[in-house]
Amino acid sequence: MYLTHLVFAILVAAAIAEVGSTTTQQNETHTDAWKTVSQNETFYMMYRSYEYDAGVGGTGKCVSVKLCEKNDTIRTARRQNQCTGTPRRPN
């Protein structure tokens, strides 16, 4: 009787694992970062990694970035304050 319960438990666990992996694969979406970065729109990030970062405007609660130049071949982008040479301070 114990062996029967053990085999049944293993089969149930395997079935649950298979259903879970199938559901994850069907529902999983990926974000293409290049599509986001290469759009000519201003993006606002609400949270910063560091309190002070000269590259994104010094200090502030959020950061805004706008694309000014991109290279689709090697997938590089420059933000507005890199092109103008003047840092932008977020509000």
* Structure-token match 């319960």, residue found: 5
Convert the pLDDT of each residue in 11-43 to its tens digit: 656 656 555 444 445 555 666 767 776 777 776
Torsion angles phi and psi, residue 71, rounded to 5: -125, 105
Instruction: Taking residues 70-86, report their average pLDDT.
Output: 69
Q: Are 78 and 69 in contact (CB under 8 A)?
A: yes
Distance CA 55, CA 69 (A): 17
Distance CA 77, CA 57 (A): 18
Whole-number pLDDT of residue 39? 73
Convert the pLDDT of each residue in 45-63 to its tens digit: 666 666 777 766 677 666 6
> Residue 13 is which amino acid?
A
